Chain A
Amino acid sequence: MNDTGSLMTGGRVLAAYLGDMRLELTKMARTPAFAVPTILFPALFYLLFGIVMGGGRGDGPFAVQALARWSMFGTMAPGLFGFGVSLAFERENGQMILRQALPMPAGSYLIARMINAMVFVAISTLLMLALAMFVGHVPMSAGQVLRLLLVNVTGVLPFCAIGLFMGSMISGQAAPAIINIIYLPMAFLSGVLFPIPNKFLQQIQPVWPSYHLGQLTLGAVGGTWAGELSHHVAALVGVTVLFFVLAMRKLGNRGISLLGRPRAPGAASPLRRAVNLVVLATAIGLLLLGVMGGTASHSAANVAATSKGESVDGSAAPPVADSSTSPLGVAAPESPVIAEFDDGSTRAAYGIGFTATDDKSRGGNSTVSQRLVEGGADHTRAALEVSGDVGTAIQYPFVGTSFLPNGQPQVDFLKQGFMDYSTRHTLRFRARGDGKNYLVVIMGPQVDAIPGMYGFVAGPEWQEVRVPLHDLGGVDLQRVKAISIGSMTPGEFRFQIDGVRIE
């Protein structure tokens, strides 16, 4: 009678694992209070902010990237809530203790929960894909669909680990609220869903795992993304291991082991401690590598500049558009002068511009026009006046006037060259206007990430605007493609600029 263990065949153990998975899925499927918010809410957000209000429709790169961005949002929830809230409740109501006493195969609960989160993510991503294809009429290749699913289904793991950690700490009653307090800021501060208008918050975007997953989902659909693949993967693996180890420790202190045998308190061998330490150190190292690397290469790119004609054939390998692979910009001319507008034209001293630019190519309905006006700043002859109306048809409207320092005529915007301004410190110009807020936008090689931005107010009197180039978060000054001055604020606007210099 002592060898009952041998009667527990591999087949029976496998059946136990599969049974636990099925039961966890059954539980979730029968709990609409969990299933509805975790799957439907992100999809509704995508429908509302991505497709309807954001203009993420049709075959432009913007549309498919909106899908990629919001699918990241949908991936976070099953991990955070599926692990966090459920674990907190089951820990409190004694279920975890009963599981410890039962001869459940090692790690079965964890695996079941993980598969469960992955299935939910797959459903969430597929639902958004369906919305994209049938509501947004966004054409998707099989490759794009498969890569997006793969990235999201594996990308839920860091959020599972965070959820597990939360679930090991907090009470079941408090869990939904506390996890929402983490979920929503982490999603929105990543800058993946909406651009962040705050320089500091922009700079710390790589701190959030959602930022790294967002870059990977963008890459999965062939969109442009920031940073390096290895940094994003390192950060996500680091987060997963770190929070997993912390959660196991916390649960262990509560007498719960999800991996198998309950740990005897105080009985950890020196070897085991050493292994734990090494694992923790490695996780923190990976995390730091990802976050620091991400911060370094988290350079500007431009949401506003994708042209509708860009090819986003998902069957091609994702274009790795990070800074290091783009050619360096040509050296800037010696003279700091960009444009004085005193020679009777809107032309700059070099490059292309200044040219009025609207957002029609991205589906926007903003209008803009520019002209020279008599009486520039400092009693010069003339200044450039830009006026128009910022529309609300798309998520990120932007109109203004643009200067491409290394621009060539008759060349697609995406193929325009760069200029190396890394030795310059300040972009200066005079501005006056209707008292509204305006933005200086500096675009680098990445056309779909968030560009470097600097806000200013154009008042009735001429005032100097000084843009500290090296303090703008993530602007790659070696590769400046375009400098635009304009408005994102819906409504009519009018401003004048003069004496544009970079020095």
Chain B
Amino acid sequence: MSQSPLARLNDAHKRYGPVTALDGLDLQVNRGEMLALLGPNGAGKSTAISLLLGLQTPDRGSAELFGDAPQSLDARRRMGVMMQEVNLSPVLHPREMVAQVASYYPTPYRAGEVIERLSLEKIADRPYGKLSGGQKRQVQFGMAIAGRPELLFLDEPTVGLDVNAREALWQVLRDLIHEGVSIVLTTHYLEEAEALADRVAVVTHGKLVAGGSVDEIRAYVTRKNILCRTALAREQIAAWPEVQELREDSGVKHITTRDAEAVLRRLLAADAQVRDIEVKRAGLAEAFAEITSANPAAGNGAGNSR
């Protein structure tokens, strides 16, 4: 089997008037892997996906899908897609919609197989417009996989899903990977990327600022939050050199630090009565803040600037 990537952006540039959406982005999707594309809003994730889907063409650089132009019908017959902001016809039924998308592909699943795999039997023959937001996303996911694609593009697939539905969808994604399908996923949930992705690419300002395995990415995020109830004055805590930020929320102090152990030692030493201590790894938002503020405009590849 060919070692060439299934999809690739090579030094891709894209401008919308004065706004630079992509500023020389390199990205590739290899066979059988799940790549999570992370980045703040406006970072260029959607533009990158648009180029790979052939919806737009790069101003400079290139976009390839299965070694072909992404606009090629043959290339598109090998991939499935789930978009974020789509309102489908409210009067059609999920079974009809899945069957129709399947008909565009050479060797699709039967609509019934997709419905069954995603446990959509109860809603398969009801008007799409009457479904909940989460159910709609599941139907759209069904449409994305209906063509038995080799490569799946999923834009925020689990937004609006409840915990059970999300777990179920994750399981389907793991199965698909196991079957050899490659997946490109954009998500706001670090948790989702952690649970599923082989590789993570962080995009800001239209460039790749960090890329690598989930653990490698996680290593960037050294900041932690310490929550506690303490009688110590705010000024006293804020004066410790290890403390980056401090705020108080209904009696609970939130201390942000890169050296949680040092802060904890000081805390326990200074206030024997300290209670309700919790230590949390920073969330995705903080991770982005960290990575992107450390990479204002330059660099690609992992960890070359911090």
Interface residues of A (CB under 8 A from B): 1-2, 4-5, 7-9, 12, 15-16, 19-20, 23, 26-27, 30-31, 93-95, 97-98, 100-106, 255, 260-262, 264-265, 267
Bound-state CA distance A103–B76 (Å) is: 5
B74 A5 Cβ-Cβ under 8 A: yes
A103 B104 Cβ-Cβ under 8 A: yes
Interface residues of B (CB under 8 A from A): 1, 53-57, 66-67, 71-74, 76-78, 81, 83, 85-89, 91-92, 96, 99-101, 103-107, 127, 147, 150, 153
A24 CB to nearest chain B CB (Å): 9
Residues of A within 8 A of B66 (CB): 2
Bound-state CA distance A8–B147 (Å) is: 12
A4 B83 Cβ-Cβ under 8 A: no
A27 B77 Cβ-Cβ under 8 A: no
A102 B76 Cβ-Cβ under 8 A: yes
Residues of B within 8 A of A98 (CB): 81, 83, 86, 88
B-side binding surface: helix, strand, loop or mixed? loop
Residues of A within 8 A of B88 (CB): 95, 98
Top 5 closest pairs, chain A to chain B, by CB: A7-B106, A93-B87, A30-B91, A5-B74, A103-B76
A102 B150 Cβ-Cβ under 8 A: no
Given A16-B104, A255-B56, A264-B57, also A102-B86 (CB < 8 A): no
Given A4-B78, A12-B106, A23-B96, also A95-B55 (CB < 8 A): no
Bound-state CA distance A482–B42 (Å) is: 75
Partner of A101 from the list B81, B100, B150 (CB cut-off 8 Å) is: B81
Residues of A within 8 A of B55 (CB): 97, 100-101, 255, 262
B3 CB to nearest chain A CB (Å): 13
Partner of A19 from the list B54, B72, B85, B100 (CB cut-off 8 Å) is: B100
Residues of A within 8 A of B81 (CB): 98, 101-102
Bound-state CA distance A98–B53 (Å) is: 10
Given A26-B96, A255-B56, A264-B57, also A94-B87 (CB < 8 A): yes
B103 A103 Cβ-Cβ under 8 A: no
Residues of B within 8 A of A94 (CB): 83, 85-87
Bound-state CA distance A48–B72 (Å) is: 53
A-B contact count (CB 8 A): 98
Given A2-B66, A4-B106, A95-B87, also A101-B71 (CB < 8 A): no
Bound-state CA distance A261–B75 (Å) is: 12
> A23-B92, A94-B83 are known contacts; what are 7 more A-B pairs with Cβ within 8 Å?
A5-B106, A97-B83, A100-B54, A101-B53, A101-B54, A255-B55, A264-B71
Residues of A within 8 A of B127 (CB): 30
A103 B92 Cβ-Cβ under 8 A: no
Bound-state CA distance A31–B92 (Å) is: 10
Residues of A within 8 A of B78 (CB): 4
Given A27-B92, A261-B71, also A267-B76 (CB < 8 A): no
Chain A: CB-nearest residue to B49: A101
Given A26-B96, A95-B86, A255-B55, also A105-B104 (CB < 8 A): yes
Residues of A within 8 A of B83 (CB): 94, 97-98, 101
Partner of A103 from the list B57, B99, B105, B150 (CB cut-off 8 Å) is: B105
Bound-state CA distance A101–B71 (Å) is: 8
Partner of B104 from the list A2, A31, A104, A260 (CB cut-off 8 Å) is: A104
A262 B91 Cβ-Cβ under 8 A: no
Chain B: CB-nearest residue to A108: B104
B92 A26 Cβ-Cβ under 8 A: yes
B157 CB to nearest chain A CB (Å): 14
A27 B91 Cβ-Cβ under 8 A: yes
A13 CB to nearest chain B CB (Å): 9
Residues of A within 8 A of B67 (CB): 2
Bound-state CA distance A23–B150 (Å) is: 26
Q: Can you list 10 contacts pairing A with B, beta carbon distance less than 8 Å?
A: A8-B77, A12-B103, A12-B106, A23-B92, A26-B92, A93-B86, A94-B83, A95-B89, A103-B104, A262-B55
Residues of A within 8 A of B104 (CB): 16, 102-105
B73 CB to nearest chain A CB (Å): 6
Residues of B within 8 A of A23 (CB): 92, 96, 100
B1 A1 Cβ-Cβ under 8 A: yes
Chain A: CB-nearest residue to B68: A2
Most buried by A among B72, B87, B92, B127: B87
B135 CB to nearest chain A CB (Å): 18
Residues of B within 8 A of A265 (CB): 57
Residues of B within 8 A of A255 (CB): 55-56
Chain B: CB-nearest residue to A89: B87
A175 CB to nearest chain B CB (Å): 15
Bound-state CA distance A1–B1 (Å) is: 9
Bound-state CA distance A9–B108 (Å) is: 13
B96 A16 Cβ-Cβ under 8 A: no
A103 B147 Cβ-Cβ under 8 A: yes
B65 CB to nearest chain A CB (Å): 11
Bound-state CA distance A23–B105 (Å) is: 17
Residues of A within 8 A of B71 (CB): 261-262, 264
Partner of B101 from the list A9, A102, A105 (CB cut-off 8 Å) is: A102
Partner of B77 from the list A5, A19, A264 (CB cut-off 8 Å) is: A5
B231 CB to nearest chain A CB (Å): 54
A471 CB to nearest chain B CB (Å): 54
Bound-state CA distance A103–B77 (Å) is: 5
Residues of B within 8 A of A20 (CB): 100
Residues of B within 8 A of A103 (CB): 73, 76-77, 104-105, 147
Chain A: CB-nearest residue to B73: A103
Bound-state CA distance A260–B69 (Å) is: 14
B57 CB to nearest chain A CB (Å): 5
Residues of B within 8 A of A264 (CB): 57, 71
Residues of A within 8 A of B87 (CB): 93-95
A16 B86 Cβ-Cβ under 8 A: no
